Structure 1
Amino acid sequence: LGSGKVSVTNLDFDHYIDRASPNLFKYCASGKHIPQAILVMRKAGGNPLEYLKYTFTDLIVAVVSPSGSHDGEIASRETVELSFSTVKQEYVVQNQQGGSGGTITAGYD
């Protein structure tokens, strides 16, 4: 194998169209750069654990693509694609009691 170059692509996610949708569309249409943004994922339950966090710098909303509902769902969805200069990923390992068992981090600059 020869030397290669790392390629970290845009991050895309799918979500129900909600109150964030107009702002996501506005940022996409304007091409405005966002200095920093954080995307957090939580487990469901009475004491939801934040198990995954992305911190982006110099972010733009590259794509907003409404797709309607899927598989009999009532609510419509959209796919959002984020382009960024740097990203830090933090994954929280869940312990047997359902709490935090430590964090694993990685990043790209």
Structure 2
Amino acid sequence: MSFDAFMKVDGVEGESLDDGHKGWVELLSYHYNARQSISQTASSSGGATAGGVFLGDFQISKYVDRATPKLFELCCKGSHIKNVTIRIHRAGTEKFKYLDIVLEEVLISLVSGQGADQTGLPTEAVSLNYGRIKFEYSQQRRADGGSAGIVSGGWDRTANKPFA
């Protein structure tokens, strides 16, 4: 299944001309991870015990565009960004928004030029470190393509508790 992905960064203008995402940054891909440390010491019930969660940086790849200089500058300055929103749509004639990922209290930890991809256009990778992350998934009804409900979840790494 193909998808369309967009990113909105407070104070940064992208080049998307997509209806509903004008001025957002168009993404080629994204990556995130959460890793739970597991203790080798068994609990009183006999199973392994959980330690603490490690949240890796949220990583995106994109073509070089008008957002590139500003993202680079924000990384170099270590500027705090209040919000970054990543929006994922199923591609097609009727786009269906099925995932929003909102990052709060963000620092850009990496901007890395990649040269050209198979299209011959230069790309870059950007890593985002964050204080809070929230996922909002919209399930799509198979019968008519409408929304079948929303599931939310997230984590506040500064308070070490759920954030939804």
TM-score norm. by structure 2 comes to 0.60
Q: Give the drift of 1:31.
A: 0.6
Distance in 2 (CA, whole Å) between partners of 1:3 and 1:49 is 37
- Matching residue of 1:102: 149
Task: Report the identity percentage.
Answer: 31
Alignment of 1:51-62 (within 5 A): 51-62=98-109
Distance in 1 (CA, whole Å) between partners of 2:66 and 2:90 is 21
Alignment of 1:67-78 (within 5 A): 67-70=114-117, 72-78=118-124
TM-score norm. by structure 1 comes to 0.87
Q: Which has the larger radius of gyration?
A: 2
Give the gaps of 5 or more residues in structure 2. Answer: 1-47, 157-164
- Matching residue of 1:93: 139
Taking a change above 3 Å as real, the CA distance of residues 13 and 34 of structure 1, as seen in their structure-2 partners, is same
Q: Give the drift of 1:46.
A: 2.7
CA displacement 1:14-48 (0-9 Å, x = unmatched): 11122222221121111100112211122222321
SS in structure 1 at match of 2:54: coil
Amino acid at match of 1:104: V
Structure 1 stretch 24-33 or stretch 41-50: which is displaced more?
41-50
Q: Give the drift of 1:98.
A: 2.7
Amino acid at match of 2:141: N
Taking a change above 3 Å as real, the CA distance of residues 43 and 87 of structure 1, as seen in their structure-2 partners, is same
- Matching residue of 1:49: 96
Q: State whether structure 2 residue 65 is matched by structure 1 residue 24.
A: no
Runs of 4+ in 1 over 6 A off after TM superposition: none
SS in structure 1 at match of 2:82: strand
Amino acid at match of 1:19: R
Structure 1 stretch 76-85 or stretch 3-12: which is displaced more?
3-12
Say which structure, 1 or 2, has more relative contact order (CA 8 Å, 6+ apart): 1
Taking a change above 3 Å as real, the CA distance of residues 43 and 19 of structure 1, as seen in their structure-2 partners, is farther
Distance in 1 (CA, whole Å) between partners of 2:97 and 2:66 is 21
SS in structure 1 at match of 2:92: coil
Distance in 2 (CA, whole Å) between partners of 1:94 and 1:22 is 37
Structure number with the higher strand fraction is 2
